[in-house]
Structure 1
Amino acid sequence: MTTVSPLLTVRGLHVTFPGRHGAPPSRAVDGVDLTVRPGEIVALVGESGCGKSTLARSLLGLVRPAAGRIEFAGRPLEYRSRALKAHRRRVQLVLQDPSGSLNPRHTVYEAVAEGLRVHGYAGDEKEAVTGALARAGLRPAERFLPRHPHELSGGQRQRVVIAGALVLSPDLLVADEPVASLDASVRGEILALLLRLRTELGLAALVVTHDLGLAWNAADRVAVMYLGRIVETGRVEQVLAAPRHPYTRALLSVLPDTPGDPVVLSGEPPDPSRVPSGCRFRPRCPVLASGAADRAGVADRCRTEDPALADGGGGVDVACHWAARA
């Protein structure tokens, strides 16, 4: 069996920001390993403030890491302006709020053509723009070219943003909460679009979201992030059907039609400038609070040792002392 080499590889990535008023640095991304293969959709899931968006921006070179390595198509990401420009042609970012991504004074044509002009496209610009709009589901494309963002629905604006990314024929889309601001009926259309683009173009995507339901419906693999680190990752049907990490279980418990009572986590996620000792999930962990970790003989390790991602069986990696023993 031939193993496909990853399109994107992240190893030991750390991104820090200076603390305010003498506080320690904020460890926004704190040792992340991640891969995305060609044509694969990976969902990066977690609560707000866990470092998902910072990680996404670091993949485009918009945030420079303090340590670690990002490789794309087997080559390390370089931070020279020419190298970054070439990288961003192949890796495109789609943001949550389409209204904020589009200049209200620009027509749809100008919005989609902007990337072509930045990168010095030498072909037929109008043909490239109309083709990208059609691939994004705006047909007939010519009808949308003269319109301004205020003349479009929220779903149409998001499709224009996606067309602006597709016009450069990238290999990877990094989509940061791409449906969070859309109505429920439109979310399904955008997710179906991502799946169709993967099928028709072989496009890979890293979809950043707090919504596990989105991950279930759109992704091939899921990576669950907590306080700057991936705590569970694997095939989406394996992770979401039988989650190992207590944090993943808590996130899943609030989805509709999930058996059992919702798991209510105590408190808020800790400040990333003050990551707890031992397991970073320890202060909110229901397994530790219930005594289950004591009964499994791992409570002391939970309090003193930060677990690394390890094989949890069935192709799932999990960073949890209790899950490794369960």
Structure 2
Amino acid sequence: MSSASVSPDVALAARGVCVRFGAARAVDGVDLEIGAGEIVALVGESGCGKTTLARSLLGLVKPAAGKVEYGARPLGYSRGDLKEFRRHVQLVLQDPSGSLNPRHTVYEAVAEGLRIHGVSDGEEVRVAEALSKAGLRPPERFFMKYPHELSGGQRQRVVIAGALVLEPDVLVADEPVSSLDASVRGEILALLLKLRDELGLSVLVVTHDLGLAWNIADRVAVMYLGRIVETGDTAEVLMAPRHPYTKALLSVVPEVARQAPIVLVGETPDPSRIPTGCRFRPRCPVYAAGLPAEVAARCEKEPQPVLPPDRGHHAACVLA
């Protein structure tokens, strides 16, 4: 699998992906595309399934049904297939302190991927270039430093450099700025935008923060209880949300909130006990406020649809 095999339109995709843990439907028939050179934000509360979906896109969790595609090709799960795939699709974790071995220097941390994949030519040059792309300049100044000698933002840049050293097509960033101070968050988000623009990278950003999506993403997908409930261009979704869940999440985002905060009742339901009809119904303020009988019946009985993977603005709600 080479970079040349990547579709010019879609870099990475979930096609009807289902992931189950016993009776729990953690991911329940999801279609999602990350276009070439595109940043997509996958947004939702803790427990909604977004990290499990990201892990399936990375080949770390094999779907019970559906498939993951890299370019136009289904992902294979042999050791060789996965090793080659992970040269092209790299993970950036949320906690740089936990991602970096405290006993390894910055050089060793960034070179680790090269050594795992047997890339021995020009190691020092490749490490220096990756650190430079991640904004650590001059890179040689950081070679022999240990994680505890770096700031939080610098540690996250080392993690990003470790992903970049293999020259991937796609980054999957799981809460990449959640552990950082507010002053540093903007710098890391700006770096991801710069990498997209300069290297043509595709990026999936997994986050609970719709404000982050507003600042960085081309498109946004809102996830609830194992399914995408709304997706579309970021400006369309955030300026004119259709699903009550999206509206509730947006009501507490200072950058875009235009109404009083909407308080959702209760916690995200157990994925092993998904409600009939609309799975958001038990917490939906619109349903709770009262609906015409025929509309309420649809909310109660009609299964929530799987949204299509195309780039339109879609919402899985009978009220949308």
Common fold: TM-score over 0.5: yes
Q: How far apart in 2 are the matches of 1:315 and 1:275?
A: 27
Q: What amino acid does structure 2 have at the position aligned with 1:7?
A: A
Q: In the alignment, which residue of structure 2 is the partner of 1:300? A: 297
Q: Would the aligned equivalents of 2:228 and 2:307 in 1 still touch at CA under 8 Å?
A: no
Q: What amino acid does structure 2 have at the position aligned with 1:284?
A: R
Q: What amino acid does structure 2 have at the position aligned with 1:289?
A: A
Q: Residues 223-247 of structure 1, C-alpha deviation per residue, up to 9 Å, x if partnerless?
A: 0000010000000000000000000
Does 1:269 find its partner at 2:268?
A: yes
Q: How far apart in 2 are the matches of 1:263 and 1:144?
A: 46
Deviation at 1:260, TM superposition (A): 1.6
Q: In the alignment, which residue of structure 1 is the partner of 2:83? A: 85
Q: Would the aligned equivalents of 1:288 and 1:294 in 2 still touch at CA under 8 Å?
A: no
Q: What amino acid does structure 2 have at the position aligned with 1:150?
A: H
Q: In the alignment, which residue of structure 2 is the partner of 1:7? A: 11
Q: How far apart in 2 are the matches of 1:186 and 1:206?
A: 20
Q: What amino acid does structure 1 have at the position aligned with 2:194?
A: R
Does 1:16 find its partner at 2:20?
A: yes
**Aligned partner (choices 43, 46, 50) of residue 44 of structure 2:** 46
Q: In the alignment, which residue of structure 2 is the partner of 1:182? A: 180
Deviation at 1:310, TM superposition (A): 5.5
Q: Residues 219-270 of structure 1, C-alpha deviation per residue, up to 9 Å, x if partnerless?
A: 0000000001000000000000000000000000011152221000001110
Does 1:290 find its partner at 2:289?
A: yes
Structure 2: tracts of 5 or more residues without a match: 1-6
Q: Would the aligned equivalents of 1:6 and 1:36 in 2 still touch at CA under 8 Å?
A: yes
TM-score by length of 1: 0.93
Q: What amino acid does structure 2 have at the position aligned with 1:299?
A: A
Provide the aligned C-alpha RMSD in A.
1.4
Q: What amino acid does structure 2 have at the position aligned with 1:17?
A: F
Deviation at 1:5, TM superposition (A): 2.5
Mapping of residues 26-105 of structure 1, within 5 Å = 26-105=24-103
Deviation at 1:64, TM superposition (A): 1.1
Q: Residues 63-103 of structure 1, C-alpha deviation per residue, up to 9 Å, x if partnerless?
A: 11111111101110000000000000000001110011000
TM-score by length of 2: 0.95
Of stretches 142-151 and 300-309 in structure 1, the one that deviates more from structure 2 is 300-309
Q: How far apart in 1 are the matches of 2:160 and 2:15?
A: 28
Q: How far apart in 2 are the matches of 1:54 and 1:310?
A: 18
Deviation at 1:9, TM superposition (A): 1.8
Q: In the alignment, which residue of structure 2 is the partner of 1:321? A: 318
Q: In the alignment, which residue of structure 1 is the partner of 2:4? A: none
Q: How far apart in 2 are the matches of 1:192 and 1:67?
A: 36
Q: Would the aligned equivalents of 1:56 and 1:174 in 2 still touch at CA under 8 Å?
A: yes
Q: Would the aligned equivalents of 1:288 and 1:299 in 2 still touch at CA under 8 Å?
A: yes
CA change 1:69–1:128 in 2 (3 A) is same
Deviation at 1:10, TM superposition (A): 1.1
**Aligned partner (choices 125, 130, 134) of residue 128 of structure 2:** 130
